[in-house]
């Protein structure tokens, strides 16, 4: 598999605070990568820097071999990068279907249509004419993911999919994500739930204080190794 996304020595700041420190990794076409770590580890800032929503202080982001480090976010969407942000950020007064169709203005050619999204997330089918403000958290999350899919992305960035949702709702969202992964989608997932992250990802990166401190396939990592890296309980080799 060739690298679809390359992050090279990336630094990102919030004022004087350095949130991402010299982060480098690659994501292959068709791979699912989970970014895990405690609050404040730099995961969301890293995802936003990849999407173009946060300007990096240093380093490079390459997509399909092209340097996109200084490219505007809307132009990255046109290239095939879609971000589902933390908090979902739907248009509350628009219906589910209208929220999906808003994204169609930036769509690339591809298989994702309103009907395809409703088939992937069947819980939305009876709600397609309901306003987003009336939806539950899980329904809003499904709509937000569907809206991103409407752009027909080559790379889907998902930030905190399970945050604030009841476990039974998260189960439903992850069942739909499993279908996306089976279809060969390339996904980078930020997730605090280690069990779920390790259950769906081909590879896991654990971040601590802006750095990657552990990397590997879930089958090659024990839960104890990931937990120790997650909380910085011991110095991880190579950190």
Number of neighbouring beta carbons within 10 Å of residue 192: 17
| This prediction's pTM | 0.90
- pLDDT average per 10 residues of sequence, the chain (239 residues): 91 95 96 93 96 97 97 94 87 95 81 91 94 93 92 93 82 82 89 86 95 95 89 59
Q: 208 - beta bridge partners? A: 211
Domains of the chain: residue spans and CATH? 30-55+80-231 (3.40.50.300)
Alpha-carbon distance of 90 to 102, in angstroms, equals 10
Q: In what order do the strands lie in the sheet with 32-36?
A: 81-84, 155-159, 186-190, 32-36, 203-208, 211-216
Alpha-carbon distance of 132 to 157, in angstroms, equals 21
Which residue's entry shows tokens 């990102």?
12
């Amino acid at each position: 598999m060739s690298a679809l996304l390359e992050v090279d020595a990336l630094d990102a700041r919030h004022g004087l605070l350095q949130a991402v420190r010299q982060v480098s990794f690659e994501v292959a076409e068709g791979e699912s990568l989970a970014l895990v770590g405690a609050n404040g580890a730099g995961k969301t800032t890293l995802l936003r820097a990849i999407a173009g929503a946060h300007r990096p202080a240093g380093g490079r982001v390459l997509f399909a071999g092209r340097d996109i480090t200084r490219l505007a976010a809307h132009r990255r969407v046109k290239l095939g990068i879609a971000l589902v942000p933390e908090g979902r950020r739907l248009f509350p007064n628009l219906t589910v279907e209208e929220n999906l169709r808003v994204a169609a203005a930036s769509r690339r050619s591809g298989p994702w249509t309103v009907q395809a999204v409703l088939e992937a997330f069947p819980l939305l089918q009876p709600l397609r004419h309901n306003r987003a403000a009336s939806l539950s958290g899980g329904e809003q999350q499904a709509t937000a993911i569907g809206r991103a899919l409407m752009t027909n992305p080559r790379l889907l960035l998902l930030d905190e999919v399970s945050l604030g949702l009841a476990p039974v709702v998260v189960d439903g969202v992850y069942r739909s994500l499993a279908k996306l992964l089976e279809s060969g989608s390339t996904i980078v997932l930020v997730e605090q739930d280690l069990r779920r992250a390790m259950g769906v990802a081909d590879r896991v990166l654990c971040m601590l204080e802006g750095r990657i401190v552990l990397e590997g396939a879930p089958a090659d990592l024990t839960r104890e190794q990931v937990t120790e890296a997650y909380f910085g309980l011991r110095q991880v080799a190579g950190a």
